[in-house]
Amino acid sequence: MKRIAVLTSGGDCSGMNAAVRAVVRAGLASEVEVIGIQKGFQGLIDRLYEIMSTKSVSNILQRGGTFLQSARCAEMKTEAGLQLASENLKGMGVEGLIVIGGDGSLNGGYAIHRKGIPVIGIPASIDNDIPFTDMSLGVDTALNNIVSAVDNLKDTASSHDRAFVVETMGRNCGYLAVVATIAAGAEYSLIPEEPYDLEKICADLRRRYREGRSNSIIMVAEGAGKAQDIADQIKDRIGFETRVIVLGHYQRGGSPTVFDRLLAARFGQAAVENLLKGNYGKMVGLQASNIILTGLEKIVSSDHREIDPMLALLAKQLSI
């Protein structure tokens, strides 16, 4: 291969820029030209790209988000759009594509791969719901953002005898809520993978109050219910003053942690190496401390990554 391309797609997350930097520099080190596709898959449709150099990716390692930008692309869901994207890649002289993003992005990458363009995927999703990788890019930074916010909330919660209901991202996977509960010392984590009994939670809050523990933090993954609805029910049932914090897109931003920077570097280098070796049609992932490859067909046909039940148990045991 003499020319490859890289794009970021879907929801942005910290570590994407670091991954692009690794792809560009690993490619150039292998004497391969790298082009950056702007605005995700929409850039393939509209032919938005630039030839990358080492200078192009200087001073982006520490920045959150993605300097290549991302955008929704309805055309990629059509046969005509997929055909146009593939033809445009060939017209640009691209012989291989690296897609950085979540499950929707990996689906798009696999669809292009089936059109005859070699593709490698890099998992990037703060929900940590992509299967066959222990961690995706952006997860660690998002967790640090959440824990920092909860640490500050605990100060004001203890000053006013309040219960805070904190909503995190996680439509299908409660990883952020559970791990944040453990790391920040919250009292409860409500996640989509497990049913919860709000009446029991209210009874526990009453018991805690009698014991002199008059403030609580309840973490709620967005897929488990609306934080405001849960807060209103708690207030109606036991009369506790409750406040709601929806962390929303705050979780996605910020300078990536050392873990995310290192993971991005390893993913980016491995993606280029395997693309050039002919090991394409796959996603790079992390298993224990090793970089592994899993077929994109297997990725897109599998369910979302399941949360480790031991993490959920640990969160419950440490919150009594």
Residue 270 banded pLDDT, cuts 50, 70, 90? very high
- Identify the pLDDT of residue 213: 80
- Identify the pLDDT of residue 86: 95
How many Cβ atoms from other residues are within 10 Å of residue 53's Cβ?
A: 13
Residue 242 banded pLDDT, cuts 50, 70, 90? confident
Residue (of 89, 104, 84) closest to 9 by Cα position: 104
Residue 160 banded pLDDT, cuts 50, 70, 90? confident
pLDDT beyond 80 at 318: yes
Alpha-carbon gap, residue 315 to 188, rounded angstroms? 8
pLDDT (tens digit, 9 = 90+) per residue, 35-69?
Answer: 999 999 999 999 999 999 999 999 999 999 999 99
The whole-number average pLDDT for the span 97-123 is 96
Active site residue ranges: 127
pLDDT beyond 80 at 221: yes
- Identify the pLDDT of residue 126: 96
Residue 118 banded pLDDT, cuts 50, 70, 90? very high
- Identify the pLDDT of residue 216: 87
Percent of all residues in the chain with a pLDDT value above 90, rounded to a whole number: 83
Beta bridge partners of 51: 35
pLDDT beyond 90 at 214: no
- Identify the pLDDT of residue 125: 96
- Identify the pLDDT of residue 209: 81
pLDDT (tens digit, 9 = 90+) per residue, 169-179?
Answer: 999 999 999 99
pTM comes to 0.94
Residue 212 banded pLDDT, cuts 50, 70, 90? confident
pLDDT (tens digit, 9 = 90+) per residue, 277-295?
Answer: 999 999 999 999 999 999 9
pLDDT (tens digit, 9 = 90+) per residue, 18-27?
Answer: 999 999 999 9
Alpha-carbon gap, residue 32 to 54, rounded angstroms? 12
pLDDT beyond 90 at 208: no
Residues of the chain with CATH 3.40.50.460: 142-252
pLDDT beyond 80 at 193: yes
Residues of the chain with CATH 3.40.50.450: 3-138+256-300
Percent of all residues in the chain with a pLDDT value above 70, rounded to a whole number: 100
The whole-number average pLDDT for the span 93-98 is 97
- Identify the pLDDT of residue 154: 85
- Identify the pLDDT of residue 155: 84
Class of domain 3-138+256-300: alpha beta
- Identify the pLDDT of residue 230: 93
* Inter-CA distances, 143 with 45, 179, 211, 227, Å: 34, 8, 30, 18
Fold assignment, 142-252: Rossmann fold (3.40.50)
Alpha-carbon gap, residue 158 to 140, rounded angstroms? 27
pLDDT beyond 80 at 264: yes
pLDDT, mean over the chain: 94
